[in-house]
């Protein structure tokens, strides 16, 4: 029986492959096949950890390394004789998979939840939490701070302060735009904590503006999500915003 050729990166993923066919595909194509078969979206800012099997992360890194080596070659960089770029493709692959885009490839971090035994119902603010992300348009860094405001109720689940930072890092470590990142963070915290009110403010520098294009070093982006009591109660919203130590020029 003849073997199927490897899938072209530009070809649509064919459904109903046998296990033998899947085993011959690159890891990225096997993962994509599972995602498409499950009709699961896999945009730049989506988490796909449920569709990655043991050992495939290392295979992905090897694939990215090989492709990155071709990018360097296309840029006419002699990586053989240039000692500074000998290992660049390997470093970039490791950086993408294990670090700056890690939030796509690993499951949600374990978060211990506690019942609101004391029935706390006062405003609490967590932040500033340092966040690092990447613009999905140019893969340039986004560096900033996040503040989270919560108004719990007796049925809310309370989580430890460090867990807010872990959840932020998991969501922000993906290529995306800031507006969508803040909304994703709000959705995750709303479902997990179930507060009466939730407010998130993010202020960040975008290197797609600093480093390229207009090359404006002074601009930053600030956006917010207000839900529940923070959306309905202007006084609560003002109290939250007044307590945020914003960046000084």
Residue-level pLDDT at 24: 85
| Nearest alpha-carbon partner for 176 in 208, 198, 219, 148 | 208
Does domain 113-242 match CATH 3.30.1130.10?
A: yes
| pLDDT > 90? residue 198 | yes
Q: What is the pLDDT of residues 41-77, one digit of tens each?
A: 999 999 999 999 999 999 999 999 999 999 999 999 9
pLDDT at 247 over 70: no
pLDDT tens digits, one per residue of 90-134: 999 999 999 999 999 999 988 877 777 667 778 899 989 999 999
Q: Is the pLDDT of residue 197 over 70?
A: yes
Is 203 a residue whose pLDDT tops 90? Answer: yes
pLDDT band at 159 (very low <50, low <70, confident <90, very high): confident
Q: CA 125 to CA 115: how far, in whole Å? A: 18
CB 117 within 8 A of CB 160: no
The answer to whether 27 and 54 have CB atoms below 8 angstroms apart is no
Domain 113-242 in the same topology as domain 19-105:
no
CATH superfamily, region 19-105:
GTP cyclohydrolase I, N-terminal domain (1.10.286.10)
For residues 242 and 36, give the distance between their C-alpha atoms in angstroms, rounded to a whole number. Answer: 46
Distances (CA, A) of 9 to 26, 39, 230: 10, 19, 46
> For the whole model, what pTM was predicted?
0.84
Instruction: Check residue 14 and give its pLDDT.
Output: 53
Question: How large is the average pLDDT for residues 198-210?
Answer: 90
Q: Is the pLDDT of residue 32 over 90?
A: yes
Mean pLDDT, residues 219-236 taken together: 92
Average pLDDT on 186-197 reads 92
Sequence spans of domains, the chain: 19-105, 113-242
């Amino acid at each position: 029986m003849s073997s199927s050729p490897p899938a072209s990166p530009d070809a649509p993923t064919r459904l109903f492959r046998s296990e033998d066919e899947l085993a011959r595909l690159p890891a990225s194509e096997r993962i994509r096949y599972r995602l498409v078969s499950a009709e699961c979206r896999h945009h730049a800012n989506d988490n796909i950890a449920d569709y990655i099997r043991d050992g495939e992360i290392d295979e992905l890194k090897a694939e990215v390394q090989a492709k990155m080596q071709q990018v360097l070659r296309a840029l006419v960089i002699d990586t053989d004789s240039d000692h500074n770029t000998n290992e660049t493709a390997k470093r970039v692959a490791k950086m993408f998979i294990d670090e700056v885009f890690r939030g796509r490839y690993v499951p949600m971090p374990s978060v211990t939840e506690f019942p609101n035994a004391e029935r706390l119902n006062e405003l609490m603010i967590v932040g500033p939490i340092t966040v690092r992300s990447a613009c999905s348009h140019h893969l340039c860094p986004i560096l900033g701070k996040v503040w989270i405001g919560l108004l719990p109720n007796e049925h809310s689940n309370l989580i430890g302060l460090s867990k807010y930072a872990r959840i932020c890092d998991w969501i922000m470590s993906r290529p995306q735009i800031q507006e969508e990142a803040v909304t994703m963070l709000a959705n995750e915290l709303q479902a997990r904590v179930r507060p009466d009110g939730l407010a998130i403010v993010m202020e960040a520098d975008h290197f797609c503006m600093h480093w390229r294009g207009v090359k404006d070093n002074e601009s930053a982006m600030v956006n917010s999500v207000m839900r529940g009591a923070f959306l309905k109660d202007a006084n609560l919203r003002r109290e939250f915003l007044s307590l945020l130590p914003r960046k000084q020029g």
